[in-house]
Amino acid sequence: MQAQSIRTSVIGAGLLAIAFSFGGTMALAASGGGSSGSGASTPSCPRGEVWNSHAGKCSRSTSGLDDRQLYAEGRDLALAGRYGEALTALAAVRNQNDAMVLTMTGYSKRKLGDYDAGIALYQRALAIDPTNVNTHEYLGEAYAEKGKLDLAKAELTKVAAVCGTSCEQYADLAKAIAGAPSGI
């Protein structure tokens, strides 16, 4: 039993090492990025600082946190509606060409009203990871919010191709399209 536990730990550590050898992209993507968030319990920090859960305090955005932790912090803050704080955490991620970092940065910018920047970031993310269902959902929502329903519906078709019509992303985007104004 103990040998099996050790073997499982070694395999897990090996997989983690492989994930980080790819520049952190796989590790960040594994953190998810769906529409529901958990950042409501993250304490607020002064501008330019992020919550360091390991230290239990606010710290300069680059001190002691790796890209995976910074991404997770930024994602949680964005999904909790704390977009400015999310942008601070996401800007501190060293790999700014990670599809999930680009997606959540775009999400935060879009939610702050900068649709053009959000859409541009989503498009960059999709150039890196064309099957990222969260990015397709958010891009479709941006189009729906701007009244570009034809483009939003095209993203809905892409979401369905990736995860079907019963996934959370499909339902969320379909709702956004149904509630979208006819033109802006």
Concatenating the DSSP letter of every residue in 50-108 gives: EEETTTTEEEETTSS--HHHHHHHHHHHHHTT-HHHHHHHHHT-S-TT-HHHHHHHHHH
The ranges assigned to domains in the chain are: 35-94, 96-184
3-state secondary structure of 49: strand
Tell me how far apart the alpha carbons of residues 61 and 109 are, in angstroms, rounded to a whole number.
19
For residue 93, give the nearest of 72, 78, 120, 121 by alpha carbon.
72
What is the fold of 96-184?
A: 1.25.40
**What residues form DSSP beta bridges with 59?**
50
Structure tokens at 63: 């001190």
Structure tokens at 62: 């680059």
pLDDT in tens, the chain (184 residues): 444 433 333 333 333 333 333 333 333 443 344 444 444 566 777 666 666 666 677 766 555 788 999 999 999 999 999 999 999 999 999 999 999 999 999 999 999 999 999 999 999 999 999 999 999 999 999 999 999 999 999 999 999 999 999 999 999 999 999 996 544 4
Residue pair 134/34 in contact by the 8 Å Cβ criterion: yes
What predicted TM-score, i.e. pTM, was given to this entire model? 0.70
**In this structure, what are the phi and psi dihedrals at residue 55, rounded to the nearest 5 degrees?**
-85, -20
Tell me how far apart the alpha carbons of residues 106 and 116 are, in angstroms, rounded to a whole number.
9
